[in-house]
Structure 1
Amino acid sequence: MKILITGAENSLAKYIKNRFKNTKDIEIDSFNRDELDISDKNSTYKKITDSNPDLLIHLDSMNNIDICEGDESLAYTINTIGTLNAAYPCSILNIPIIYLSTSYVYDGDKDSPYFETDKCHPVNIYGKTKLAGEKLIRTLCKKYFIIRTGWIFGEENCFVQKVLNNSNVSMFVCSTEMGNPTYVEDLCRVIEKMLHSDLYGIYNCGNPLSTTKSAWVKKIFNYAGIERSILEIPENFLRNTATRPKNSSLNISLIKNCFDLELPSWENRLSEYIENKLKSQ
């Protein structure tokens, strides 16, 4: 199986490429944005069709939420039009596309974890442009896996590593935002199942159970053996930032039911990750 990955310069794409490059019967090809400008329809079509992959993992996106909010046009060009341009050759080649979407397609008003069938009503530009990309894929392609996820950690320079690197400076964390930390290796396990499946559709992906962003940061310090307090503030006190959904918690039962895959808790994965990081220092 030949897999093509877009957005090869980002840390998540590098992790996924390394994760599968030595897998038997899998050949990995990848393009960074200098090599594949997804905003250019014609060159994107030519690059992908010339590569002639068996499956495309589309990871190229503009995922800095605050930058998206400040430049809606660019966010739309990359996240929506770029996804359209990546999906079109997949439909022509009749190959599956795996698209990494976001839990921020949900509005956050629900009091419990979101199912894939819940109505999407994004509250920021990032979520809106990613949801628009989802809709285009569903319109164009018969074979697609859309993965809604968030709070990914474990790749190079991830959120957990940034927290540990800045453990000596004052840290302000939203006290109300809820979601599911997602260990990158478990995301890869889900992708691996999809590589050999025709159960196409939309899937929520995250490690159970949901938590607040502030509780997550506290656990990071706790597992690292760092005695540190953080400053918890409500979301409406944060200035010059895009609105985040108050609750982007995910129900992941569909992954378990469809792929017979039960993901461990984020606390277990976080503990393992930090323990391995400390051992390697």
Structure 2
Amino acid sequence: MNILITGGDKPLGKAFAKHLGNKHKIFLMNENTLDITNRVETLRTISNINPEIVIHCDEIDNIEKCEKNENLAYTVNTIGCLNVAYSCYSLDIPIIYLSTNYVYDGKKESPYYETDNCTPINVYGKTKLAGEKLIQTLYNKFFIIRCGWLFGEENNFIQKILNNRDVPVFMCSNEIGSPTYIEDVCTAVDILLSTNYYGIYNCANPDPVNKSLWVKYILDCSNIKKEIIEIPQNYIPNCAPRPHYSAIETTLLKNCFNIKLPNWRERTKTVVANINKKPPTK
């Protein structure tokens, strides 16, 4: 299968290329080879390659950057998504769109289903939801995958925690969500590629967790003993709001595709072990 992947300079785009490259022909696009904010260029590029499916990963995923530059966030995350989706619609190519658990508002106290109302509270979530809605308005051959807190591969969250083992850790005390191993997202999408059960699917490793407890588990896996200082979100100046509760339910993914992902603890332990095997950087 010929697969075009946008966001080839992003951790998720790189992970898809690595995971799918052994059995599919991958066309990996980055901001230098495909400007998704340019509709004409996007249509021309996708038309010239003529892939059998497009995996759209390109985005601005920095929550704070989106909050500070709303126009840029909407240009890339929403208009860019529209341009990719329009090209897929025009060429009759299915699209897989990587979205986020931040489309939910965080007011529930139990994991969100795909059918729950989406009223995001930060600019990043709003721009991603707008992209989702544009895809659904344009076309019916889509998979929208809502992921939780991504980690693994070149996503550096765990690496960043371990690199700062000698400095205090300050964490927002009330965030509960779903850690999501990037490789498991790739495995799930690989299965979706051979189906036409289009729709919206949550994808995350099971069991909601407080983010500070997740960080504590990361440190414990490396036998690092130090205090995590929990602070309320409103004590952090100029911080983009995060939903208090953004854990997601993945029953639909299991029922439709028989995909059951391992617990986040197992995946976290694996990533930490792999990082600790690497020689220290100079």
- TM-score normalised by length of structure 2: 0.97
Cα distance between partner residues in 2 of 1:257 and 1:238: 40
Unpaired runs of 5+ residues, structure 2, are none
Matched, 1:14 2:21: no
1:1-281 aligned within 5 A: 1-23=1-23, 26-281=24-279
SS of 2:106's partner is coil
Contact 1:152 1:158 in 2 (8 A): no
Cα distance between partner residues in 1 of 2:12 and 2:249: 23
Cα distance between partner residues in 2 of 1:166 and 1:151: 19
Cα distance between partner residues in 1 of 2:276 and 2:161: 14
Shift of 1:59: 0.5
Amino acid at match of 2:221: Y
Cα distance between partner residues in 2 of 1:47 and 1:188: 24
Cα distance between partner residues in 2 of 1:41 and 1:127: 23
Contact 2:159 2:275 in 1 (8 A): no
Aligned length: 279
Q: For structure 1, which segment, 147-156 or 82-91, has the greater mean C-alpha deviation from structure 2 after superposition?
A: 147-156
Unpaired runs of 5+ residues, structure 1, are none
Amino acid at match of 2:108: K
Amino acid at match of 1:49: S
- TM-score normalised by length of structure 1: 0.97
Moved over 2 A (4+): none
Alignment RMSD (CA, Å)? 0.9
Amino acid at match of 1:96: P
Amino acid at match of 1:100: L
Cα distance between partner residues in 2 of 1:58 and 1:37: 12
Shift of 1:261: 1.0
Amino acid at match of 2:126: K
Shift of 1:276: 2.4
SS of 1:275's partner is helix
Cα distance between partner residues in 2 of 1:69 and 1:153: 22
